[in-house]
């Protein structure tokens, strides 16, 4: 094969693109990745990973502050934010170096620059053209703003929020989705005075209502000024502060973080030229195997419909690569993709909320227990966490699982696995769980849904 010719060219090296490239190479395809910035994409360099690194420092600080409850006196704790940020950079460097190492190990070429499709369905990077058997577009997303407000100066996006050089005195965050809740929860505990402004009537509005309630309580405990139904207007960014109004009331912060969602990063990709169709929301139209309207061109991750989550992008990358290689692959069940939000309290969920299940006409049963119902909740110091099972009564189907509290992001996986292995909540209720663990609360909530809660 000629030097500038590949079986598969992946544009973008985030968690969608790099996983797709590795899977393609594993299956014997001569593969290249085009990346214009740093390997690892936004998730590893600017979003998921930096966020979790900083949240980990905030979580540790919270534990130290609560150590007294466990009989430990810790004095003189200070936040050295430069060191927190230095750790973030080390974490990012370790993980992105790992991806670069995996490219090398799998003989994947990295082409530096901005990739775009040509009318022939090949890839152009600057002046160079590369022949491609297939192309996987994996360029991710760009931040959206609110009407009339441009990002810049003291009005920042989520990426800038995680890279602030110091803990701001006053931070206002617009949007209480996963990003906004995480940013608010991190900075409030590291010392900022935080205002969290959500247009809808509750925080994490796509989560189950019971979960939103527990999260709102947790955020308020962190002294976050949570405002729902909040309309931010009149944003004026000055040198020293940002001023704005909320429902007519004047307010001010050192930084205003815009965390109101993201849009597909399709600019400059040559989609129209190559005949790749977009839907009415500006997302790339794909079928179940991530094929676009242009033969040989695939798109994955934040470019296509479905939740904008790294692990969803990775799985779509695997499906696309396996399809290109002519291998059997698996369908992706979008509702069963776990959602993990790492604010305090943690949230893990999948499937339908109780309201959605009722709206869809299921004969719904609900099982709910607090972590305090099982020994682990009391032993480990989180009695207020909540597990909620949304099930269907006739066959015990697990329609949705919703967990808020310590380690919720880990605990949710059990319910996802059981569902995808075709079990229901009656099975979870009868699977032996280790004692004393928080996972016993998942078992008890399943028993509650099945009508025989033991502890409670």
Give the residue numbers annotated as catalytic, written as ranges: 435
Token readout for 422 is: 């075709």
Question: By C-beta, is 308 or 366 nearer to ligand NAD?
Answer: 308
- Binding status of residue 182 toward ligand NAD by CB under 6 A: yes
What minimum distance in Å lies between the beta carbon of 366 and ligand NAD?
24
- Binding status of residue 350 toward ligand NAD by CB under 6 A: no
Q: Are 108 and 22 in contact (CB under 8 A)?
A: yes
What minimum distance in Å lies between the beta carbon of 281 and ligand NAD?
12
Residues 6+ away with beta carbon under 8 Å from 296: 121, 132, 133, 134, 135
What minimum distance in Å lies between the beta carbon of 180 and ligand NAD?
5
Given the rule CB under 6 A, which of 4-12, 177-185, 412-420, 428-436 is the region that contacts ligand NAD?
A: 177-185
- Binding status of residue 315 toward ligand NAD by CB under 6 A: no
What minimum distance in Å lies between the beta carbon of 197 and ligand NAD?
5
Question: By C-beta, is 39 or 174 nearer to ligand NAD?
Answer: 174
The site for ligand NAD, by CB under 6 A, has a size of 26
The DSSP letter of residue 421 is T
CA nearest neighbour of 400 among 449, 327, 456: 449
Pick the binder of ligand NAD from 177, 338, 396, 405 (CB under 6 A). Answer: 177
Pick the binder of ligand NAD from 43, 54, 58, 146 (CB under 6 A). Answer: 146
Helix (H, G, I), strand (E, B) or coil at 220: helix
- Rounded CA-CA distance 262/335 in Å is 20
Question: By C-beta, is 177 or 424 nearer to ligand NAD?
Answer: 177
- Binding status of residue 264 toward ligand NAD by CB under 6 A: no
CA nearest neighbour of 356 among 199, 175, 206, 133: 206
What minimum distance in Å lies between the beta carbon of 226 and ligand NAD?
12
- In sequence order, the β-bridge partners of residue 355 are none
Pick the binder of ligand NAD from 162, 244, 298, 342 (CB under 6 A). Answer: 342
What minimum distance in Å lies between the beta carbon of 159 and ligand NAD?
11
CA nearest neighbour of 389 among 426, 341, 433, 420: 426
- In sequence order, the β-bridge partners of residue 256 are 155, 172
Question: By C-beta, is 149 or 324 nearer to ligand NAD?
Answer: 149
Question: By C-beta, is 251 or 341 nearer to ligand NAD?
Answer: 341
The residue nearest ligand NAD at its CB is 177
- Binding status of residue 340 toward ligand NAD by CB under 6 A: yes
Question: By C-beta, is 197 or 284 nearer to ligand NAD?
Answer: 197
Question: By C-beta, is 62 or 293 nearer to ligand NAD?
Answer: 62
In whole angstroms, what separates CA 62 from the centre of its chain? 23
- In sequence order, the β-bridge partners of residue 198 are 228
Near ligand NAD in 284-313, by CB under 6 A = 307-309
What minimum distance in Å lies between the beta carbon of 187 and ligand NAD?
15
Helix ranges (DSSP H) in 66-127: 81-105
Near ligand NAD in 233-262, by CB under 6 A = 259-262
Question: By C-beta, is 46 or 425 nearer to ligand NAD?
Answer: 46
* CB count in 10 Å sphere of residue 315: 22
Pick the binder of ligand NAD from 95, 170, 205, 236 (CB under 6 A). Answer: 205
- Rounded CA-CA distance 317/435 in Å is 38
In degrees and rounded to multiples of 5, residue 37 shows phi and psi of -120, -130
- Binding status of residue 344 toward ligand NAD by CB under 6 A: no
Q: Diameter of the chain by CA atoms?
A: 69
What minimum distance in Å lies between the beta carbon of 258 and ligand NAD?
8
Core vs surface per residue 269-289: b (16+ CB within 10 A) or e? bbbeebebebeeeebbebeee
Residues 6+ away with beta carbon under 8 Å from 30: 1, 5, 6, 7, 8
For the four alpha carbons of 103, 104, 109 and 112, in that order, the dihedral sign comes to positive
Which residues are near ligand NAD by CB under 6 A?
146, 174-180, 182, 197-200, 205, 230, 232, 259-262, 307-309, 340-342
């Amino acid at each position: 094969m000629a030097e500038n010719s590949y079986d598969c060219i992946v544009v973008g090296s985030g968690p969608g693109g790099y996983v797709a490239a590795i899977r393609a190479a594993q299956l014997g395809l001569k593969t290249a990745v085009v990346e214009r910035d740093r390997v690892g994409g936004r998730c590893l360099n600017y979003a998921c990973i930096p966020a979790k690194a900083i949240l980990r420092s905030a979580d540790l600080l919270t534990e130290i502050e609560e150590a007294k409850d466990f009989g430990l006196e810790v004095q003189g704790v200070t936040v050295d934010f430069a060191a927190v940020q230095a750790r973030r950079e080390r974490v990012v460097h370790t993980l992105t170096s790992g991806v670069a190492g995996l490219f090398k190990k799998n003989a994947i070429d990295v082409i530096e620059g901005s990739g775009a499709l040509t009318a022939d369905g090949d890839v152009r990077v600057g002046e160079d053209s590369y022949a491609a058997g297939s192309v996987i577009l994996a360029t991710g997303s760009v931040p959206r703003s609110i009407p009339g407000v441009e990002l810049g100066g003291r009005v920042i996006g989520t990426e800038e929020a995680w890279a602030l050089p110091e803990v701001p005195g006053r931070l206002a965050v617009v949007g209480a989705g996963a990003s906004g809740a995480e940013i608010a929860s991190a900075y409030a505990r590291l010392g900022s005075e935080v205002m969290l402004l959500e247009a809808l009537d509750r925080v994490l509005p796509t989560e189950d209502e019971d979960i939103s309630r527990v999260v709102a309580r947790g955020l308020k405990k962190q002294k976050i000024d949570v405002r729902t139904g909040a309309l931010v207007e009149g944003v004026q960014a000055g040198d020293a502060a940002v001023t704005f109004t909320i429902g007519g009331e004047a307010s001010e912060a050192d930084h205003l973080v815009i965390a109101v969602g993201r849009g597909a990063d399709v600019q400059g990709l040559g989609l129209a030229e190559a005949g790749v169709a977009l839907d009415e929301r500006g997302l790339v139209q794909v079928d179940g195997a991530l094929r676009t309207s242009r033969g040989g061109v695939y798109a994955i991750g934040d470019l296509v419909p479905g939740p904008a989550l790294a692990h969803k992008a990775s799985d779509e990358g695997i499906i696309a690569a396996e399809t290109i290689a002519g291998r059997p692959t698996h369908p992706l069940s979008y509702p069963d993709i776990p959602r993990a939000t790492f604010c305090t309290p943690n949230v893990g969920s999948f499937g339908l909320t109780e309201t959605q299940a009722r709206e869809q006409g299921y004969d719904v049963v609900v099982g709910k227990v607090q972590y305090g119902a099982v020994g682990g909740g009391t032993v480990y110091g989180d009695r207020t966490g909540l597990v909620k099972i949304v099930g269907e009564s006739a066959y015990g189907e697990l329609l949705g699982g919703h967990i808020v509290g310590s380690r919720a992001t880990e605990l949710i996986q059990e319910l996802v696995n059981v569902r995808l292995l075709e079990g229901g909540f009656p099975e979870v209720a009868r699977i032996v769980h280790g004692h004393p663990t928080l996972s016993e609360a998942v078992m008890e909530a399943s028993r509650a849904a099945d009508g025989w809660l033991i502890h409670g």
